[in-house]
Amino acid sequence: MKKKICQFILFATLLSTIATNGQQNYTYKKGDPNGIGKWYMGREIAYVMGFQGIDWLERSEREKEENTSTLLKNMDIRPTDVVADIGAGSGFHVFQMAPMAHKGLIYAVDIQPEMLVAMEYRKESGDIKNVKTIQGAEQSVNLPENSIDKVLMVDVYHEFSYPVEMIASIKEALKPNGKIFLIEYRGEDDRVPIKRLHKMTETQAVKEFEAAGFILEQNIENLPWQHCMVFVKK
């Protein structure tokens, strides 16, 4: 009995230490109206775009504004790839990637149940077999360890309330040679018509991902408004 109590206390202490260390990464202060007042490495975290924005995600101008077909070519998706779209939203990219990885699997991860419902409806109505929706959490992508070839994050990373924990969770899910495709509106370019907190500079992204044990393999600058940054494990 004493041994079990000691083990429980040790486990509880470990969890407390992890939580405390995680919180030490963040600071809190008032900032931009579009931010949550929580900062990481000098960057204020933006509010999450709600499911009410589905129409904007599915807008007809999106291909012209973002050149999404070129983005998917950048990913070089193979038929057997296992790809995770983190913050998949309504599945705009998910259902374009599914036929490319027709012998593989697309994980569609989102934290909002309404987004998952929208993707499930589209999946079932199109009889799409290689898409699996996953309920994400604030601190975890809830994906199997060492299972993912490629991770796609389109204009979502800057909204993570717990970026340290989320990158760690993604890192655990990635295979050793897996890649992260981080797509963010260019914070260096004032001509990009997006709110400041919903953009990121390459310098900031590299700083945050290097702290998590990743290196920038390349930044493919062939999209109209966005960075296409490819990160791999160190």
CA distance 223 to 63: 10
Model pLDDT for residues 41-95, shown as the tens digit of each residue: 999 999 998 777 677 678 888 888 899 999 999 999 999 999 999 999 999 999 9
pLDDT score at 200: 98
pLDDT score at 12: 45
**Residue scoring higher pLDDT (195 or 16):** 195
CA distance 15 to 20: 9
Flag whether pLDDT at 7 surpasses 70.
Answer: no
pLDDT score at 6: 47
Looking at residue 190, the DSSP 8-state letter turns out to be: T
CA distance 52 to 190: 26
List the domains of the chain with CATH numbers: 57-233 (3.40.50.150)
Flag whether pLDDT at 21 surpasses 50.
Answer: no
CA distance 84 to 81: 10
Neighbour tally for 129: CB within 10 Å: 10
Mean of pLDDT over the chain: 91
SS3 content of the chain, % helix, strand, coil (to 5): 35, 30, 35
Q: What is the mean pLDDT of residues 117-135?
A: 97
Model pLDDT for residues 172-220, shown as the tens digit of each residue: 999 999 999 999 999 999 999 999 999 999 999 999 999 999 999 999 9
Flag whether pLDDT at 10 surpasses 50.
Answer: no
Looking at residue 208, the DSSP 8-state letter turns out to be: H
CA distance 160 to 167: 10
Strands (E), the chain: 26-28, 35-40, 43-46, 82-86, 105-110, 131-135, 148-154, 174-186, 199-200, 214-219, 226-233
CA distance 205 to 172: 19
Element (H or E) spanning 22, and its range? Answer: helix 2-23
pLDDT score at 23: 58
pLDDT score at 56: 65
**Residues in CB range of 188: below 8 A, 6 or more apart:** 201, 202
* Residue type (1 letter), 170: I
Tell me the whole-structure pTM to 2 decimals.
0.88
